Amino acid sequence: MKFEQGEHQGFYDQTSNRWFKITLANRAGLILDVRNALAGVAGNLESRPATPIEYLERIRLANEKFADDIRFLGVIDAPDGWRLVTSQAHLTGSAPTEDEVMQFFRWRRFRMVNEKTYYRAMDNLLVGDAHTGNLKKDRSGEIIPFDVLICEPGEALRRSVEAPQTLTFD
């Protein structure tokens, strides 16, 4: 089974029961960032292209904080540019509900920043793209994040997610 989605192309290998993911040419996936940040005011969260170091840090954090099993396999020097290669264990289960996703993060002391982003101040951890398609509910009911954008935000991003949300008027 092959796929091309957002930041990767890839395929599933039945023998190893793993997904092999290859970033798009000269790209290292995505990372969360903030636009229009002012001291004490929440800026607009957005994803932007990650650097290779940020991508590797994202993998490390996913493995460390959510017991993921992402393996960095190397770099391909392809005719259209470099590509990063990873593999990740196949997860069985179903998509959790939105309430189950919120509950998963609340139980782990995260605060909701918006409908797909959560922040935990005690270890400065920001998790984005945390929607029902990027988490699985296994047979025992455990929720498992597997394709979220995770980072330890720098000062501007951290200040923005810690700031109270502002009102907008249409």
As a whole number of angstroms, the distance between CA 32 and CA 63 comes to 18
Helix or strand run (H / E) with residue 77: strand 70-78
Cβ neighbors of 167 (< 8 A, separation 6 or more) are none
Amino acid at site 66: F
**CA proximity to 19, closest of 5, 3, 7:** 3
Least confident of 42-51, 83-92, 104-113: 42-51
The residue to which tokens 């109270």 are assigned: 164
The predicted model gives 26-49 an average pLDDT of: 77
99 CB neighbour count, 10 Å cutoff: 8
pTM of structure: 0.87
CA–CA distance, 33 with 80 (Å, rounded to integer): 27
Q: Give 6's pLDDT tier (boundaries 50, 70, 90).
A: confident
- In terms of pLDDT, which residue wins out, 137 or 42? 137
pLDDT digits (tens, 9 = 90+) for 65-96: 999 999 999 999 999 999 999 999 999 999 99
Q: Beta strand pairing status for 18-23 and 8-13?
A: antiparallel
pLDDT of residue 163: 75
Per-residue confidence (pLDDT) for residue 108, from 0 to 100 = 97
